[in-house]
Amino acid sequence: MTRSIQPPRWRLYALFLLAITVLLAGFAVALTAYSHFPLSLAAFGEWWQGGESLSTPTRLVIDIRLPRVLVAVCVGANLAIAGLLMQAITRNPLASPTILGINSGAACLVALASVTALGDLLPTTLLQALIGAMIAATLVMVLAGYTSDRLIHPLRLILSGVAINALLLGATRAALIVADESSFGVLYWLAGSIANSRWENIPWLLPLSLFGFTWAWWLSPRLNILALGDDVASSLGTNVISLQRQCASIILLLTAASVAVSGPIAFVGLIIPHAAKKLLLACRAHSYQLLIPLVAILGAALMAWSDVLSRAVAFPAETPVGLLTALIGAPFFILLACKRRT
Amino acid sequence: MNRFFLICAAALTASGFAHAQDKAQDSNDTAAHLLSAEEIAAFVPNIDDYPADPQRIAAMEFSFVGGALAAGKRPTAISDDGNPEKLIPEFRDAVGEYTSLGSRYQPNIESIADAKPDLIIADKDRHTVIKDDLEKIAPTLFVKSRGEDYYENLQAAQVIGHVLHQDDTMSKSIEDHLQKMRDARDALQGSKMADETVQFAVITDKGMWMHGPTSYAGTVISSLGLKSPIPEQTEEAYIPTSLEQLLAADPDWLLVGRYNDHTVLEDWKDSPLYQNLKAVKNDHVVEVDSSYWSLSRSMPSAERMAQDLIAHSQE
């Protein structure tokens, strides 16, 4: 029995329409739900008309909720794309951007800055996380051999990541033991939270996210070929080393930006690529040109809804959004690992 | 056998605290929260295991330094995280020379042994994991420090006084303290602050944490007859607070303890929403010393908090 090579278009349209609807619904609910104030989307109308003084609910939606949800969707999309690329270059379905040591590096420098003079040198958490992420990822990539002109075996990258992650985790724990009073602040940050997101983050985070998305999408034809294996890709004229380096750069860029604004958010980069691949397979499609926008939409939707849940779980108190993604992601990861064994 | 005694002690401690809390639940009088002589004795059924007149006391928490001093005893070794500046001046002056035991979070057993204490006072939450090591060095009293509220701090002081065989001295210290707090309460009740809500929060570069009604600062504030803007939020002692949640609480007075030079408060100050807060409009956002308000639970700290509140209520 032969299958049609061409996927049925209507299924793909329906899939993307559904994903976008879930994202927009999450966006709208995250903007207005679970507040002591009567928030509504009508705030945008009032804001558009301007006027001398905006009401408190309108200001809340525009000044606090909107940047927060924008950060959530950027972070969700970034981590999902980074996860997809990580799984592509390591050809390991259980790989996630954390392998590059980005989260651990950010966490380590944030923790160290709370107990050493580094805090004076790098005054903001954002800066500490960004630089920590960069240093750690560079270390992992150098250790994995990305500086040489030889083809890198995916396993070498994973092992380098495991080693550097373990080293950084030890340093983070040591810093937390010394920190004590300030450790609760660091621990809260480590759980991953977007509660204090501000408009100041958007002008750099949004363009950077769009740049990362565009770059990844531009690489998608070559990623389709890479999926056939390094040897096949090389024989078809793809520069695999350059492709691996570019993917690693995108992963670093997107994950470091995300961890800097929200702290380490777990599992988004693991769950979403799998979900997206399964959904596309159901539509008889599996190209990276479709996968990359789909993981971006689904990642953004997951984070938007996680933000809603972070407020809903213990309202009026808030739960760090990273805890919720971990709670959703951990069972998924276990299920995936078990399925692979069978 | 020792283990059996410890289990009994733990059970009695738990039931004693619970009973004391029940007894005082509907009372505004701090004295009603204190333990009776029988309840104190029940806390320490193995009182004979402790030295009759300890001379070398190791205090593994700042609140225990306060407890020992209130009982008329000077600790000779203190877990000060390697930084004597962490002790409030009242303690530093009263203690004088002492041996640093390093971190409260990760105590150095060798340092504790070198200090040759004849009694160790340790936190039953933080230090239980090294219980056996501590008891090899000297008889160890485990009482609550971390996460305690104002009333629990006074009860712990009573137990410390009993173990140091200084019940009378401790009773007098507590009575003097309660008198100061009653005077402060009267002064505050006569001020405009009595009709307003008061909230203390810690601010760092990573966020704001309101100290809720069940926290040490929260219970000191309520013991002074002042109102909390979030009386229903009793689930957590320290509540992570976004600007939206601060707006929802909207206290008349916002007292902040700063942990960093640059904090979220500086980020929020540009927001028109922040300017909408009652405390901001009335110029009632006040910086207080976090050493007293959040880092060192003790009678001198509570008195300092009361004085701070009185000073600001008269502005």
For residue range A18-76, what is the model confidence (pLDDT) as tens digits?
999 999 999 999 999 888 888 888 888 888 887 667 888 898 999 899 999 999 999 99
pLDDT higher than 90, residue B211: yes
pLDDT (average), residues A107-112: 88
Confidence of residue B262 (pLDDT cuts 50, 70, 90): confident
**Each residue of B47-84: pLDDT tens digit?**
888 898 899 999 999 999 999 999 999 999 999 888 88
Distance CA B41, CA B45 (A): 6
pLDDT higher than 50, residue A237: yes
Please report the pLDDT score of residue B225 as a whole number: 92
- Portion of chain A with pLDDT greater than 90, in percent: 29
Distance CA A76, CA A328 (A): 14
3-state secondary structure of B81: coil
Dihedral angle, C-alpha B130, B135, B136, B138, nearest 10 °: 130
User: Does the predicted TM-score (pTM) go above 0.85?
Assistant: no
Please report the pLDDT score of residue A52 as a whole number: 65
Please report the pLDDT score of residue A340 as a whole number: 60
Give CA B204 to chain center in angstroms: 20
Confidence of residue B257 (pLDDT cuts 50, 70, 90): very high
Please report the pLDDT score of residue A93 as a whole number: 77
pLDDT (average), residues B160-166: 93
3-state secondary structure of A255: helix
pLDDT higher than 90, residue B125: no
Selected residue of A34, A39, A46, A63 to mutate for chain B interface (largest B Cβ count, 10 A): A63
pLDDT (average), residues B198-215: 92
Q: What's the first-to-final CA gap in chain B, in angstroms?
A: 60
Please report the pLDDT score of residue B176 as a whole number: 95
Confidence of residue B13 (pLDDT cuts 50, 70, 90): very low
Of A37, A177, A185, which is closest to B206 when you measure between CB atoms?
A185
Please report the pLDDT score of residue B16 as a whole number: 46
For residue A49, give both structure tokens: 């008309």
Please report the pLDDT score of residue B2 as a whole number: 47
Residues of B in contact with A200 (CB under 8 A): 267
- More confident position, A118 or B122: B122
Going edge to edge, which strands form the sheet with B253-258? Answer: B238-241, B207-211, B198-204, B253-258, B285-288
Helix (H) or strand (E) holding B140: strand B140-143
Residues of A in contact with B240 (CB under 8 A): 188, 193, 195, 317-318, 320
Selected residue of B127, B206, B266 to mutate for chain A interface (largest A Cβ count, 10 A): B206
pLDDT (average), residues B213-240: 92
pLDDT (average), residues A298-324: 89
Phi and psi torsions of B101, nearest 5°: -100, 10
pLDDT higher than 70, residue A8: no
Confidence of residue A181 (pLDDT cuts 50, 70, 90): low
Of A64, A181, A195, which is closest to B273 when you measure between CB atoms?
A64
Counting beta carbons within 10 angstroms of the beta carbon of residue B71, is it exposed (0 to 12), middle (13 to 18) or buried (19 or more)?
buried
Inter-chain residue contact A317 with B233, CB threshold 8 Å:
yes
Distance CA A73, CA A302 (A): 8
Please report the pLDDT score of residue A5 as a whole number: 54
Distance CA B119, CA B57 (A): 5
- Portion of chain B with pLDDT greater than 70, in percent: 91
Distance CA B313, CA A168 (A): 48
> Which chain B residue's Cα is nearest to A195?
B242
Helix (H) or strand (E) holding A171: helix A154-179
Inter-chain residue contact B240 with A193, CB threshold 8 Å:
yes
Distance CA B167, CA A15 (A): 75
Q: How far is B82 from chain A (nearest CA, A)?
A: 10
Residues of B in contact with A107 (CB under 8 A): none
pLDDT higher than 60, residue B4: no
Please report the pLDDT score of residue A338 as a whole number: 78
